[in-house]
Structure 1
Amino acid sequence: MNDRCTPQHDWFTASLTLLLCIGLIISYLPQHYRIIHTRTSEGLSPWFLLLGSTSSAAGFLNMMTVQHTQIRCCRVQSLSACLESTAGIVQVGLQWGLFSFIFILYMLYFPEHLKYLPESNPRKGESVRSPLWSRSILLARVTVAHFLLSALTTLIIVLASPSPLDIPPPPSPYPDPSYPDPEALPLSLARWALFLGVSSALLAAVQYIPQIASTYQAKLVGALSIPMMCVQSPGAVAMVLSIALRPGTNWTSWVTYAVAGIMQFTLLSICIAWKMRQRRLGIDDFGVPLEAADGGLSSSYRDEEQQGDLDAASEDGERGVPGLVLEEEDGLDVGAVSKALESALGEAAAGDVREGTEVEVDEETPLLQAQSTAQEVQGKGKARAGWW
């Protein structure tokens, strides 16, 4: 067996990598479960998901580039030795897959009431995509294209580089210009690995900025999972240590996760602050009063309810006047009559408002009493929100 393919057992690094892989799965599960359980991805920024997916993909391909020797040595190693030597690649690839799955769930559970403009009616074929939904589709396509192009380039460069398993036997001089230095990467691989590592770090540095800005402006946690960030923020230290101890890696391989850990801790701090604010205002993570949330008013239900209101409003608009049924007869213009009646009713209602007509709320008008009470509660909520 080639000396470069001789297994190097490091039980501390292997154990740390195994624990980190398990921790990665455990840390991402709350975020996956939260989106699936609430059936909405409201509150997540598509720019955050784009930058995170491309950053983790670049970091994953960087590890495959700098450790291509370990991958090629699997042909002459046992399965256990191969898994141990490539555990770092598995670890980084696992993080890329778990984060990219969040983007998939974001697209699958995108809120229905945010997909189309309010004046459109998807059920009748009159659908106009909202800017957010159009942007999300575009960024998802860019993410897929980035990974496919980067993976293909990595494969071509790695296959074109000389293999450490094909070192010429003595008395041929070594190192030969056509074969890699045992202690360094070939020039092409070194440049590509540097590009992937630096681009991954830059993307990770700005990855959390759109999500931090979006969460800060919304003043709501949304679909973000606080337990996930509580596990991953301190876990970034162990992630950096695990990668730095791997043979063949350099600072370009672990700087990505150091930057991401700092930014994620900032986002976690903001989410905890907004969580405390939500409790003070009596609302849930999506801005719904806790009384309504306790009554089962979930996000998916709100989407269906709002869509039903739009359909009902559209149908009422076609009828013109609610409760009025006109049949077409000879010489009768149904549309003109409906519009005339609607205009007359509108003028009459406007006249009542101008005259300052007041409606007395008593025990016989419980609906108006409920509306008045809701307005009072809303006014108190706004006053409390000013304290935060």
Structure 2
Amino acid sequence: MNVKCPSDFMSPDLHHEYRIALVNMDDLGITTGIILGLGSVLSYLPQVLKLFKRRSVLGINFIFIFFCTLNQFFAAANALILNLPKTIACAQVGFGKCYSSLLAMLQITGLWVMFFPVPLLFILFHNNYESIKSRRQSKREQKKYKLYAFMYALIVLDVVVVALIATVSISIQGPCSVIARTLAQILGVVSGIIVLFQWLPQIYSTYRFKGAGSISVITLAVQAPGGFINVAFMIFISKEKFSTWFSFFVNTIQVIILFTMIIYYHLKSKIKMKNKKKYSIDLKENEPLISNKNINNNVNNSKNQKYV
């Protein structure tokens, strides 16, 4: 049975023609893609480890985590569906000849997998978790905690619904399912919309907190410059669709803003502590060797000795 793909693909008519979807990439491009992929995925590791180490989410905004998790999933679903013909081509030519065409997809999917546990960790390590469990916390805090749990359930539900629609449509219409690819385009657009404001809650929280808190500076330091390199790789080397790389471009801009704010507050705090320490030292240096109280005591002792 012949299966045609939408016009935005190369319209292979037969299964064995899916190989034309593969992107030719030289050794430099492959090496760059592997390095960028590993760097991007591992950049979230310091954040996860910091949450485990501190067991605190101080300074982290859950609304940001919610939107970021949704954005990561929508981007991953977009890449997985649109790159399905390339994945099928691997069965024809072998993984050794096709993996370079899947680097961007593997990177985007890896980012989602790495970030997916973060909202759950936020709920588990929420500062008021124990007191909420024991019902000693205010009703307001209990409602807030329940809201976080509900939003996390929405994330899981989104994953299940999208996976179900894509699986059923692909099973019926084949790898180039119009329904699945339309869904992928919609998810890509939604991802691009979400990324426009997903960092704003965290930027606001950092502005109020005046510091990094439980946010990993190492993660931001890697993602800030690496984001632009990733976007360039997706556009010029991996030849990804606009709906795939646009969200990463906007995301990088906001990461740089947040990273700059944290560095600014860190330097400001360091200068303030340095000036405070210097002021304390100056006060000690200006103190007299003998205080007025000691002088008066010595004078009184001398008078007493005189009249003895």
Instruction: Quickly name the TM-score band, shorter chain normalised.
Output: 0.7 to 0.9
Kindly indicate whether residue 168 of structure 2 is the aligned counterpart of residue 156 of structure 1: yes
Q: Displacement of 1:162 after TM fit? A: 3.7
Q: Is the 8 Å Cα contact of residues 18 and 88 (structure 2) preserved in structure 1?
A: no
SS of the residue corresponding to residue 74 of structure 1 reads helix
Q: Displacement of 1:272 after TM fit? A: 1.4
The aligned amino acid for 1:94 is G
What corresponds to 2:12 in structure 1?
none
Q: Give 1:205-220 correspondences, 5 Å limit.
A: 205-220=196-211
- RCO greater where, 1 or 2, for CA within 8 Å and sep 6 or more? 2
Structure 2 residue runs of 5 or longer lacking an equivalent are 1-14, 275-308
**Aligned equivalent of 1:138, options 130, 142, 150:** 150
- Counterparts of 2:130 and 2:254 in 1: how far apart (Å)? 29
- Counterparts of 2:239 and 2:261 in 1: how far apart (Å)? 37
Q: Is the 8 Å Cα contact of residues 48 and 207 (structure 1) preserved in structure 2?
A: yes
Q: What is the Cα-based RMSD across aligned positions, in Å?
A: 2.7
Q: Displacement of 1:126 after TM fit? A: 4.9
Kindly indicate whether residue 19 of structure 2 is the aligned counterpart of residue 5 of structure 1: yes
Kindly indicate whether residue 259 of structure 2 is the aligned counterpart of residue 268 of structure 1: yes
Q: Displacement of 1:190 after TM fit? A: 4.1
Q: Per-residue displacement from partner, 1:215-236 (whole Å, max 9, x unpaired)? A: 1122232101112111101111
Q: Give 1:266-305 correspondences, 5 Å limit.
A: 266-282=257-273
**Aligned equivalent of 1:55, options 68, 71, 75:** 71
Structure 1 residue runs of 5 or longer lacking an equivalent are 164-184, 284-388
Look at both structures and tell me which one has the larger radius of gyration over its CA atoms.
1
- Counterparts of 1:29 and 1:154 in 2: how far apart (Å)? 30
Greater helix content: 2
Kindly indicate whether residue 119 of structure 2 is the aligned counterpart of residue 111 of structure 1: no
Q: Is the 8 Å Cα contact of residues 87 and 102 (structure 2) preserved in structure 1?
A: yes
The aligned amino acid for 1:261 is T
- Counterparts of 1:226 and 1:247 in 2: how far apart (Å)? 29
Q: Displacement of 1:4 after TM fit? A: 3.1
Q: Give 1:29-48 correspondences, 5 Å limit.
A: 29-48=45-64
**Aligned equivalent of 1:86, options 102, 124, 130:** 102
The structure-2 alpha-carbon separation of the partners of 1:116 and 1:196, relative to structure 1 and needing over 3 Å to count, comes to same
More off after superposition, 273-282 vs 196-205? 273-282
Q: Is the 8 Å Cα contact of residues 212 and 267 (structure 1) preserved in structure 2?
A: yes
The structure-2 alpha-carbon separation of the partners of 1:26 and 1:42, relative to structure 1 and needing over 3 Å to count, comes to same
The structure-2 alpha-carbon separation of the partners of 1:224 and 1:154, relative to structure 1 and needing over 3 Å to count, comes to same
- Counterparts of 2:215 and 2:62 in 1: how far apart (Å)? 13
SS of the residue corresponding to residue 41 of structure 1 reads coil
Q: Displacement of 1:52 after TM fit? A: 0.4
Q: Displacement of 1:159 after TM fit? A: 2.9
Q: Give 1:1-388 correspondences, 5 Å limit.
A: 2-5=16-19, 8-10=23-25, 11-112=27-128, 116=131, 123=134, 126=136, 130=141, 131-163=143-175, 187-245=178-236, 249-282=240-273
Q: Displacement of 1:208 after TM fit? A: 0.1
User: TM-score, length-normalised on structure 1?
Assistant: 0.60
Q: Is the 8 Å Cα contact of residues 53 and 100 (structure 1) preserved in structure 2?
A: yes
The structure-2 alpha-carbon separation of the partners of 1:269 and 1:210, relative to structure 1 and needing over 3 Å to count, comes to same
Q: Displacement of 1:128 after TM fit? A: 5.2
Q: Per-residue displacement from partner, 1:316-341 (whole Å, max 9, x unpaired)? A: xxxxxxxxxxxxxxxxxxxxxxxxxx
Q: Is the 8 Å Cα contact of residues 41 and 223 (structure 1) preserved in structure 2?
A: yes
The structure-2 alpha-carbon separation of the partners of 1:25 and 1:248, relative to structure 1 and needing over 3 Å to count, comes to closer
SS of the residue corresponding to residue 71 of structure 1 reads helix
Q: Displacement of 1:187 after TM fit? A: 4.3
List structure 1 runs of 4+ shifted beyond 6 angstroms.
Answer: none
